[in-house]
Amino acid sequence: MECGRVDEIDEDLLPEVENRVENEFNFKILDHRLTFHGVCETCQAKGKG
């Protein structure tokens, strides 16, 4: 993460995982967080990644 760029992705990608956790572990999910760390396309092009 050379340039410090941070992007927020406004899409819920985990409903199936939430359902599985709730059903298999008898757990009520209130919220979740999923984080990806990587190198943006600009830094990749500059050879930083």
Q: Tell me which residue range forms the domain holding 16.
A: 1-49
Is 49 a residue whose pLDDT tops 60?
no
pLDDT at 48: 62
The answer to whether the beta carbons of residues 1 and 36 sit under 8 Å apart is no
- What pLDDT digit, counting tens, does each position of 3-12 carry? 999 998 888 8
Numbers of helices and strands, H then E, in the chain = 2, 0
pLDDT at 32: 87
Rounded CA separation 11/48 (Å) = 28
- What pLDDT digit, counting tens, does each position of 13-37 carry? 899 999 999 999 999 999 988 888 9
Domain count, the chain: 1
48 Cβ neighbours under 8 A, 6+ residues apart:
2, 3, 39
